[in-house]
Chains A and B, each alone.
Chain A
Amino acid sequence: MKILQNSGVPIYQQIAAQFQEDILAGKWKEGEYLPSIRGLARELRISVITTMKAYEELEKQGLVTAMQGKGYYVNAQDSEMLREQHIRKMEESMQDAIKAARIAGLGNEEVVEAFKILLEME
């Protein structure tokens, strides 16, 4: 995990974003416990309250559940919701591609053609 001290993005948000990505990518299994807040603080060399706030953020997003005295475990990820999120991610990337294509002066057909070639190459 890479944490930037001076990126302008609060450290707790950086940690939450990293876990979010990993959970959505299926790197964490349902029911698995995240590292303890104090253990993670020790590993990442940051304060306990910062890791706690990161986990609370994940809890707000519905990705994990807090268990009194036991820590935070990973929730079952709704596969439909997961699919939605990936589709949204795909659309965002495509919009970026379209923007770049417009700047380069490419027409719709050229964009579709380029996309087809990339799909075939995969």
Chain B
Amino acid sequence: MEIQAAVTVKELKKRYKKFALEIPELRIPKGFATALIGENGAGKSTLLRILGGVRLDYQGGIEYFDGAMTDEEIRENTGYVGPNNYFMSHWTVDNVGKAGELLFDHFHRDRYRQLCRRLGVDMGKKSIAKLSDGTKMKTMLAAAFARDTRLLLLDEPASPLDPLMRDMLCSMLRDYLDEGDGERTVFFSTHNVADMENVTDYAIILEQGRIVEEGFVEELKEKYALVKGERVEEKQAEKLLIGCRRNAYGYEGLCLQSELEQLSGLDIAVETPTLSQICVAVMKQNTVLQMEEDVSA
């Protein structure tokens, strides 16, 4: 099946004093949920803000929906949720609904109220500023899902949510994709890879402003193997392993399936890695942080 892109990024550059986001090419697959994963400061929020039109000071080209829409239409069809405070602090949850209706053509106030109820957000008189981080996020999600969009850009939607609400968020994302019948796309950043894995179709790992790995999750799981072995043979395996971790008894790391043959003869156990394990190993391989040696020397 041919996969189209909902968003295509070309030669994107955004420089800060000590950091630069540089993405030569990125295609966010249409009709799927794509997770953006990476360390704090890797550039995830910057990328999401640029794509969401919150930041405009960048170089490079971004094409939405095959270039078939006007800027106005792109705005109507894109929802953005992020950690910035873009509601007036004295607004109530109900005010957000009113504002949504004024700002967007296809904001459904009844749906907003339903979503707030479903997410357990109280429609009372409390101002947004006084809400907990979790409730603020739920309010923002309700406002985004209350619109008829084709693209959702969500900056760490799961972080402030409890496990039950993360599960609900996953369901909402799957419902959104299903109702879009291949025309709706979700792009979200997350640190909660394990909680979000069962709604993640495509994963992008960003480190220091660069994409270091990306692919459909099922393909990444076939690309890598999780290898575990005995301490005595560690030296022989080490050079093939990504994000190798050792302890007093043995080692484990990620190995490319295509290179697995080179480990034959060693006493190893091989299993299919989870997305979370792939992310940790790839991030460990690419981090500038000095990782503490796991082994007590």
Q: Report B-chain residues with C-beta under 8 Å of the C-beta of A49.
A: 32, 201-202, 216-218
B181 within 8 A of A: yes
A47 within 8 A of B: yes
Given contact pairs A8-B271, A39-B178, A41-B177, A48 touches B170 in the complex (Cβ within 8 A): no
- How near does chain A come to B295, taking the closest CB pair, in angstroms? 28
B175 within 8 A of A: yes
B198→A53 contact, CB < 8 A: no
B177→A38 contact, CB < 8 A: yes
A26-52 interface code vs B (CB 8 A; 1 in, 0 out) = 000000000010110110011111101
**Complex-state Cα separation, A8 to B270, whole angstroms:** 11
Chain B residue with Cβ nearest A52? B1
Find the residue from B1, B32, B182 having the highest chain A CB count within 10 A.
B1
**Complex-state Cα separation, A38 to B175, whole angstroms:** 8
A73 within 8 A of B: no
B200 within 8 A of A: yes
Q: Report A-chain residues with C-beta under 8 Å of the C-beta of B31.
A: 38, 48
The binding surface of chain A is classed by DSSP as helix
A45→B181 contact, CB < 8 A: no
Q: Which of A10, A47, A56 contacts B201 (CB 8 A)?
A: A47
Given contact pairs A38-B178, A41-B174, A42-B175, A47 touches B199 in the complex (Cβ within 8 A): yes
- How near does chain A come to B58, taking the closest CB pair, in angstroms? 29
Q: Which of A42, A66, A68 contacts B178 (CB 8 A)?
A: A42
Interface residues of A in 6-37 (CB under 8 A from B): 8, 10, 12, 36
- How near does chain B come to A57, taking the closest CB pair, in angstroms? 10
**Complex-state Cα separation, A41 to B32, whole angstroms:** 11
**Complex-state Cα separation, A120 to B198, whole angstroms:** 49
B271→A50 contact, CB < 8 A: no
Q: Report B-chain residues with C-beta under 8 Å of the C-beta of A53.
A: 218
B272 within 8 A of A: yes
Chain B residue with Cβ nearest A68? B1
B182→A38 contact, CB < 8 A: yes
B142 within 8 A of A: no
- How near does chain A come to B98, taking the closest CB pair, in angstroms? 31
A-B contact pairs, 17 of them (CB 8 A): A36-B181, A38-B31, A41-B178, A42-B175, A42-B177, A42-B178, A45-B171, A45-B198, A46-B198, A47-B198, A47-B200, A48-B31, A49-B217, A50-B218, A53-B218, A56-B1, A68-B1
Taking beta carbons and an 8 Å cutoff, which residues of A are in contact with B?
A: 8, 10, 12, 36, 38-39, 41-42, 45-50, 52-53, 56, 66, 68
Taking beta carbons and an 8 Å cutoff, which residues of B are in contact with A?
A: 1, 31-33, 170-171, 174-175, 177-178, 180-182, 197-202, 216-218, 221, 271-272
Q: Which 9 A-B pairs have the closest CB atoms?
A: A49-B201, A38-B178, A42-B174, A42-B178, A53-B218, A48-B201, A47-B201, A49-B216, A38-B177
Query: Beyond the given A10-B218, A49-B201, could you list 10 further A-B residue pairs with CB under 8 A, ordered by the A residue number?
Result: A45-B171, A45-B198, A47-B33, A47-B197, A47-B217, A48-B31, A48-B177, A49-B202, A50-B217, A53-B218
